[in-house]
């Protein structure tokens, strides 16, 4: 067995975590910077035993104009958000929905980073939830694919997402994607949260040395 082989004897089982509950998160924003840009939509789905059991969705008033290129991408315009709550009003409800659940997101550093920054700024709290990134997992598990964008992965796995770049629809697509990736990880004996997070931090070459997954 390779020296870097993943431990299979951890107490924190990925299967156990997922059968209990996890949250799939997606946000839309006015831009890429968590320090300078604002959230325009926040959505999450609560998943238990592989099934969506609850949803959270809110448009958010960013208190600034939404750039035209963002509106073209997401379909969210200034008129849609003008009467929506500001992020400081939305976050307490979202945090109640989130609880202590693990967060799954496609490009989790972006979504988690925005939420963490705003939770600290507006609620004076720290976002301590564990997170897993489906984009990082896809990069390591599906290195043969030319693109790891959510839209490309949906096309590859025949996941229907008719309203891409709207937060709630993207969370549902990401849920389907994660369950597929989870099965691939399970087939390679990567079954606990700590090892999944370790796996997604490694280089693609290092990960591929450990995989039994056959490219299709």
pLDDT per position as a tens digit, 33-48 = 999 999 999 999 999 9
Query: In CATH, what is the architecture of 14-208?
Result: 2-Layer Sandwich (3.30)
> Could you give the count of Cα atoms lying within 13 Å of 54 in the half-sphere of its Cβ?
10
> Which whole number is the average pLDDT over 9-14?
45
Query: Could you state, in order of their start, the residue ranges of all structural domains in the chain?
Result: 14-208
pLDDT per position as a tens digit, 182-212 = 999 989 888 888 889 999 999 998 888 888 6
Q: Residue 133 to residues 58, 173, 175, 203: CA-CA distances in angstroms? A: 22, 14, 11, 15
> Which whole number is the average pLDDT over 82-91?
98
Please report the pLDDT score of residue 212 as a whole number: 63
List of residues 6+ apart from 67 with CB closer than 8 A: 30, 31
pLDDT per position as a tens digit, 156-180 = 999 999 999 999 999 999 999 999 9
Residue 62 phi/psi, 5-degree rounding, is -80, -5
3/208: higher pLDDT: 208
What the block records as the tokens of 216 is 């299709």
pTM of the model: 0.89
Distance CA 90, CA 106 (A): 21
């Amino acid at each position: 067995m390779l020296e870097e082989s993943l431990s299979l004897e951890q107490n924190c089982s990925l299967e156990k975590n997922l059968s209990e509950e996890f949250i799939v998160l997606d946000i839309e924003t006015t831009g890429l910077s968590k320090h300078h840009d604002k959230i325009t939509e926040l959505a999450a789905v609560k998943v238990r035993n592989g099934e969506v059991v609850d949803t959270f969705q809110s448009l958010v008033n960013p208190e600034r104009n939404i750039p035209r290129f963002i509106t073209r991408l997401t379909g969210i315009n200034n008129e849609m958000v003008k009467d929506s709550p500001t992020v400081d009003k939305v976050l307490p409800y979202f945090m109640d929905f989130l609880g202590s659940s693990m967060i799954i997101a496609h490009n989790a550093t972006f979504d988690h980073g925005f939420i963490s920054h705003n939770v600290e700024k507006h609620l004076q709290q720290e976002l301590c939830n564990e997170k897993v990134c489906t984009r990082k997992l896809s990069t390591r598990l599906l290195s043969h694919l030319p693109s790891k964008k959510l839209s490309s992965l949906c096309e590859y796995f025949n996941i229907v997402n008719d309203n891409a770049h709207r937060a709630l629809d993207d969370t549902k697509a990401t849920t389907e994607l994660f369950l597929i990736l989870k099965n691939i990880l399970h087939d390679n004996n990567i079954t606990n949260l700590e090892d999944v997070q370790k796996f997604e931090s490694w280089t693609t070459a290092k990960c591929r040395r450990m995989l039994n997954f056959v490219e299709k």
